[in-house]
Structure 1
């Protein structure tokens, strides 16, 4: 009887389930016929009211949000130009198949051709496919007063002037001192063109006059490629974003205690024993290719092999007795320091410097590193016997500088750069044989500036991209530089106003140390916060309207995405669709 009872219960249960399923299916089919074919999301239009775009339901004429943002208030250009004048607020559909360029012959002709090809490619990323609506012809005339400058230096004139006028066709006049200014002008012109989803075509704003130039010559992004390795193709994408934001120095912190990924011809053992793996190295050809890739995008490379601290991996390939290259790193890899009792270390440094100079063909900027030297490591060495430790540090740095001079044909680079430290404060930096340029990440710059040293600002808590993600090893009880730094902080920071001596400020650099950053998160750590920094370091607006800043930054973020560059979200999409209401 029990078996019969169980079977009956199961039959009733399955019957009930089938009935419920049948009822649900019938309900869905009855109440939502052809659901996926007939369903439509309500369309909206945006109208300009008091220089803000207001969202409405579509009734008759439809205007896209992108078009409203470009025509209603300040054009969505990032970084903001120094001077912009609008003679009208009109736009036209362009035919992307009828864009022509005119520029003179000269040494930079190939660079200009590459830049104009990139311009066309960027428009294709905004609106792929064929032209479906008739558009107007666009003629771009590029005029250089100096067609010979093909290297980017601190004294390079990066200014440009841009006008866009309409008659029977659209005429663009882009004048610049050299290629690098013209390249910036093309980036700005690109941002005067947008995709209008209503007509499914590209539009351009005309009746525009722009005069623009950077406030500072050094506008950098630093990536730590030692803690975690980043493929060259990914670094190229960073360069693409930098070019869009008119940032011009890619600083690669190539090596650190945990890895030595760069293959240097004269000291290949360092990478052989120091790289994470055979597919995690940068060859000399990788660097040369990246150098050329960056140059046509207005970006120069600064390569750093940190020393005398932050060393271990690779350096430890000689470890016999007193001849070992690294000390203090046996029990703690992060505390490795070069051995001052081994003179061969200095010859290896000279070989490294020689290779770095050859790879970059740059004798204007050179980064020694010299970050976070732990003087207790050196205090028991023979070389430091009976010498005040900070004085000994200065003496050893002078030996490093002498080796750099040897490597550069007995001539020092114009700017020898070091990270800020106790050594870059008075009275110790007076013991150095050269007036170093200080990359200031921590500390008070007053002493450095008052003694006439050049400064590159990278202040932690303001321009560090890695802060705010907590501890990364079990022995840590908190993050190294928490809390997280939002893009507003990057934008608002103006250290030259706070500390003065603007004539000594070369510029600034955002820094991304990679303990907790890998290839999958690199881009979203950099963007859009580095874009906020880019406007500060390019035009340094004294004050800004929140509506204007948010509108332009969101638009720039969308442009980054259109070129395949990943960015972190700025706010909910609702805020973008309802300007001024968040």
Structure 2
């Protein structure tokens, strides 16, 4: 068994540390917490209190789930002892030093240590000493490092004390992804006791855990407004904290084309907002690798045949670009739609697809397919002439669906020259009950539902045995509820979707129990009214609610989760995620008094 040691080198001797620690202490704590009827109550320390309990320790034992988000979907046994640990003596041990999984565990271990160290308060040295920690990571298949829709992300975590006084944590998983989740859970069991000024970990832990759904996603649109690489990485960091596993990258749209593709560099040159707002080849590869270490797959989306425009100016493949009045040709400005009758269009798409496959190495690809405007195609003379004169079609909806199928069939053929993977498509006219079986075979396509959770289309898709992903806008569109950016009033999908709405969006209820065809769900942030400055608080902690819904499949509502959500939000902020605040801090410190 090989091991990696992660430590900080300090030249200050233990006696000096202890002296500084003692000097930093005041006359003692003012407040203590006591577990009463499942709630941590804040009480004043009185003379004679020999063992006052900190808030963090109280939360750890008053509700066995309280420190964990998402709560385990399986066995949970947590003891009632915490141990002071030495943060400079933590070892991560794993088998097979040369395997790809072992290398990923090494990086995940570094991240684990960073999260332990961030618990230390700035400017106050923690109490020296403490127990050493040995974390054993046992992976059954060290060659399995690809996250697919079939990957088993389960793990077991056992924590106890050995005869020599060390704390031992053993994580067992079928692959790297389960092991990474185990490390995430272990990190949540490490706390800072502000009464004793110690980093502590809960002893005597036995957890068996696995996700309820294999697709647990966040969509981020980087075309309406550019999102920096750092912003994307923060999003992925927060996803890892909540065991969300799919970063759906909506890279391009009609407003911008911010990715620099080797085969077609002119697209970003013409279509990016500036040369500083472009994702390079190195940026993309960096993000994909960064996500993998955190247990997250990156799914690229190249939306077509609608939602195209900027970047395509030197081609004759796009119709209705920036057409006015825009309301007649698309749902938001600028309009733009590909012309399926242009043979050279598919050569351009092939170049784009080849580069995407090379950069992302995707095992799922999103081809968009939403909000195709038949009025745009119908107003384009070259298209209607082709339909009528070359195909003997009419201008009926049925025949425009045939035109759309011409595009979709040829686009898929060009993509599959480089990789054959499941294809995701948004719900649309083409996915309606009348057309879907004719044009989109269920063995190739997964349908992502963006309409409401009560839409008849869900029943139609499930009845026809299509696999689906839920992104119903009435619960999972996180851009809703702000002032309209075109016109007056609020935006189209108002009201705002709070974390409680996200949490209660239950796939079992929406699918009426047919969850075998529900791969999972995905929250979406379309960025017409968001950018780096607002990114974190638009996503978090609302996406954390989705994380627990999809991992734990809770049979209770948001009320049971509220106190744990406040703790998770606090953890986000500790780790550098600017998550939105939900309540006054007084509510967190005075358990139970703010509930409605």
TM-score by length of structure 1 reads: 0.88
C-alpha change, 1:304 and 1:394, in structure 2 (3 Å) is: farther
- 3-state DSSP class of the match of 2:100? coil
Equivalent-residue separation in structure 1 for 2:158 and 2:448 (angstroms) = 38
**How far off is 1:526 after superposition?**
0.4
Find out whether 1:440 has 2:449 as its counterpart.
yes
Q: Write out aligned runs for 1:146-185 (5 A).
A: 146-167=141-162, 168-185=165-182
C-alpha change, 1:47 and 1:271, in structure 2 (3 Å) is: same
**How far off is 1:446 after superposition?**
1.0
CA root-mean-square deviation: 2.0
Deviates more, 1:434-443 or 1:339-348: 339-348
Find out whether 1:479 has 2:486 as its counterpart.
no
Contact kept? 1:220, 1:510, Cα under 8 Å: yes
Give structure 1 stretches of 5+ with no counterpart.
Answer: 1-38
Alignment-derived partner of residue 52 in structure 2? 62
Alignment-derived partner of residue 19 in structure 2? none
Match of 1:469 among 482, 486, 502: 482
**How far off is 1:487 after superposition?**
0.3
- 3-state DSSP class of the match of 1:579? coil
Match of 1:524 among 512, 525, 537: 537
Q: Write out aligned runs for 1:199-348 (5 A).
A: 199-318=196-315, 323-327=316-320, 329-331=322-324, 332=326, 333-348=333-348
Equivalent-residue separation in structure 1 for 2:434 and 2:352 (angstroms) = 30
C-alpha change, 1:460 and 1:478, in structure 2 (3 Å) is: same
The one-character-per-residue Cα deviations of 1:437-476 (angstroms, maximum 9, x if unpaired) are 1110014311111111110000001011110002113x34
Q: How many residue pairs get matched? A: 536
**How far off is 1:325 after superposition?**
2.6
Max radius of gyration: which structure?
1
Alignment-derived partner of residue 517 in structure 2? 504
Equivalent-residue separation in structure 2 for 1:421 and 1:544 (angstroms) = 31
Contact kept? 1:405, 1:411, Cα under 8 Å: no
Give structure 2 stretches of 5+ with no counterpart.
Answer: 1-25, 327-332, 389-393
Alignment-derived partner of residue 489 in structure 1? 501
- 3-state DSSP class of the match of 2:80? strand
Find out whether 1:107 has 2:100 as its counterpart.
yes
TM-score by length of structure 2 reads: 0.86
The one-character-per-residue Cα deviations of 1:401-443 (angstroms, maximum 9, x if unpaired) are 4333333327632x21111112111111122153221110014
Alignment-derived partner of residue 396 in structure 2? 388
Contact kept? 1:487, 1:528, Cα under 8 Å: yes
The one-character-per-residue Cα deviations of 1:36-58 (angstroms, maximum 9, x if unpaired) are xxx99993211111221111112
C-alpha change, 1:133 and 1:371, in structure 2 (3 Å) is: same
Alignment-derived partner of residue 373 in structure 2? 374
Equivalent-residue separation in structure 1 for 2:142 and 2:29 (angstroms) = 53
- 3-state DSSP class of the match of 2:386? coil
Match of 1:453 among 466, 477, 490: 466
- 3-state DSSP class of the match of 1:142? strand
Match of 2:110 among 108, 113, 117: 117
Contact kept? 2:318, 2:336, Cα under 8 Å: no
Equivalent-residue separation in structure 1 for 2:531 and 2:176 (angstroms) = 34
Contact kept? 2:140, 2:174, Cα under 8 Å: yes
Equivalent-residue separation in structure 1 for 2:482 and 2:100 (angstroms) = 47
Find out whether 1:90 has 2:81 as its counterpart.
yes
Equivalent-residue separation in structure 1 for 2:557 and 2:423 (angstroms) = 36
The one-character-per-residue Cα deviations of 1:252-307 (angstroms, maximum 9, x if unpaired) are 11111111101111122211111000100011211011100110110111111211
**How far off is 1:85 after superposition?**
3.3
Contact kept? 2:158, 2:204, Cα under 8 Å: yes
